[in-house]
Amino acid sequence: MSDPEVLADRYELGDVLGRGGMADVHRARDLLLGRSVAVKVLRDPTGDESDRRRFTAEARTLAGLNNPGLVMVLDAGITHERPFLVMELVEGPTLGALCDRQPLDAARTRDLGAQVADALAYIHERGVVHRDVKPGNVLVGEGDRVKLADFGIARLIGDTVRHTQTGHAIGTAAYLSPEQVLGEDLTPAADVYSLGLVLLETLTAVRAYPGTPTEAALARLHRPPDVPADLPGDLRDLLTSMTAREAADRPSAAEVATRLRDAPEPGAAPVAAVPDEATRTMLLSQPTPVPTASAAGGASAIDRAGDALARQPAALAAAARRMPPHLRPVAAVGAAILLLIVVAGIASSTGSDGGTDPGSDTTPTPARTSPSGTPSTDASPSGTTSEPAPTTSSTPAVTPPAPGKEPKPPKDKGPGKGPGKGPKKK
């Protein structure tokens, strides 16, 4: 067994953690500081000079960036004509390994995606385009902390030095933006497009554009990616906009991060459900009809509706507490409208059941009186006695005797001695 290779008399190389197109990434030991690190080493030192330029460009790019969402560069050097780059070691899988066998849920995808978007927003503000955003370059550490890695083909916006020939695509075919496929000048929108495809794959465990590199690259020029219809609406809309064909139609990375974090809370009632909730609660509070002798003329419909609604304050308060604060004014307006409907219904009921229609030929029956002289208990809710409504009938009204008095029969004066008969007394 050969001794492990040591670079610059300091970094002892261990297992290979990953392989890229031009370099290998090793777990290594920093013999000077006694810590574990990741060391990226150019695989073929005698290879194309463009590989050296790309390797050097990555080291310089990362050295000028400092963000929690980016892999930190610790050192760089050349040993035996082999350039190497020393970075912090992230203990954990790549996003590609996480979603390789099964998709991640929407909540976790939002969290991881927002962190990647934060990192992209940071580099975009500093004029850097990553150009190779893919699941394999997203490292997921302890506590789901994300680190964006591999800036080997990153490029400064406006940089006149090309790492590939004009008109040639650069990046990973499955995640290229349309403008990368066409070899056009790139903007930060290219990274947003790639992140959209990454999030789609995270949610489905399926690449949006499978096939050979050529097939995958050309497919996005002819059709948009399929965004599953069963995703939450806000997430579906965001992914659709991120993968828009035209770069100008895509949101910025900062906007993506904000929209991923501003997801609706689980179980929160949608806006459309507010009127239904208000109606349901108010309907439970409608008054129960109370029989009356006739028209409840002494109690107004509004009073009775208000009394009935007041009997269930707990139900109304509970419904209000369940609603989000910004929706309570909407519910209050709905409740007020419903109250007017309830009052109108009661008023209509009172007019139809409380007395005789003025156009009717029916003669009302006079109200009964208690022979014992006690007030009748058949009264309206306000405590006043009911009276028959006026009618146009020609039948004379019957005047009942006063309570507690019996009418005296007329005296028999014999034949011809009624009132106005017989001789006058002198």
Residues in Cβ contact with 277 at an 8 Å cutoff, skipping those fewer than 6 apart: 269, 319, 322, 323, 331
Helices (H), 160-265: 178-181, 189-204, 213-219, 233-242, 253-261
Q: Tell me which H or E stretch contains 116.
A: helix 106-125
Q: Which residues belong to the annotated binding site?
A: 40
**CA 28, CA 74: separation in Å to the nearest integer?**
13
Residues in Cβ contact with 307 at an 8 Å cutoff, skipping those fewer than 6 apart: 287
- Cα-based distances in Å from 168 to 152, 159, 218, 358: 17, 16, 13, 92
Beta bridge partners of 84: 41, 77
Given a contact cutoff of 8 angstroms between Cβ atoms, the answer to whether 311 and 290 are in contact is no
Tokens of 339: 């109250």
DSSP string, 289-302: P---SS--TTS-HH
Residues in Cβ contact with 131 at an 8 Å cutoff, skipping those fewer than 6 apart: 153, 154, 155, 170, 171, 180, 186, 190, 191
* Active-site residue, from 75, 132, 150, 191: 132
Burial class (CB in 10 A: 0-12, 13-18, 19+), 72: middle
Type of residue found at 285: S
Q: How many residues does the chain have?
A: 426
Residue 223, SS3 per DSSP: coil
What is the biggest distance separating any 2 CA atoms in the chain, rounded to whole angstroms? 164
Closest CA to 198 of 171, 170, 230, 233: 171
Q: Which residues belong to the annotated binding site for ATP?
A: 40
DSSP string, 41-100: EES-TTS-HHHHHHHHHHHHHHHT---TTBPPEEEEEEETTEEEEEEE---S-BHHHHTS
**CA 64, CA 73: separation in Å to the nearest integer?**
9
Given a contact cutoff of 8 angstroms between Cβ atoms, the answer to whether 250 and 239 are in contact is no
Residues in Cβ contact with 24 at an 8 Å cutoff, skipping those fewer than 6 apart: 16, 18, 40, 41, 43
Would you call 15 a catalytic residue per the annotation?
no
Active site residues: 132
